[in-house]
Amino acid sequence: MFRRFLSPSNLKSLHTALSPSRPRFAAPLLTRHVTAQSGTSSVRKRVEDVLPIATGHEREEIQASLEGRDILEINHPEGPFGTKEAPAIVKSYYDRRIVGCPGGEGEDEHDVVWFWLENGKPHECPVCTQYFELKVVGPGGDPYGHGDHH
């Protein structure tokens, strides 16, 4: 059965059918030029345009920038090693936050230990004994938006 399909005459016609065809006529190349005007007619997004439709974290960032605050500064706390008398302060918008402790510098450094830090409850890292305390700088409440009604 396959011999009939693969005969030399069928292979030649198959070869010509699969070979790239040459154009029968030459068509001129058409080019299209698109230009954009710059300057005063350019479209620029302003805070006034975006703020009414912004939601969630984007809206918080825009509102903070209008007030002259950088809300992302709380994501990378730096400071001295926290002790029981002077704990390392970690800022949060809510009443609790996940914190990672990398340990101290040099030999005191360890793998990151993650834990929940809650407002009013200082926490001691179980590896390096560094103390942390939460400072609420936002609206407070549950970070997941759930209240006591759930």
Which distant-in-sequence residues (6+ apart) come within 8 Å of 113 by Cβ?
100, 101, 125, 126, 127
Any idea which residue has 């400071």 for tokens? Answer: 79
Strand (E) or helix (H) holding 90 = strand 88-92
Residue 120 DSSP label:
T
Is 101 annotated in a binding site? The answer is yes
Strand (E) or helix (H) holding 117 = strand 109-118
Q: Are residues 66 and 47 in contact, defined by beta-carbon separation less than 8 angstroms?
A: yes
Is 128 annotated in a binding site? The answer is yes
Q: Which of 147, 146, 107 is nearest to 127 (CA)?
A: 107
Q: Integer distance in angstroms from the first to the last C-alpha of the chain?
A: 73
Q: Which residues are annotated as a binding site for Zn(2+)?
A: 101, 110, 125, 128
User: Which residues are annotated binding-site positions?
Assistant: 101, 110, 125, 128
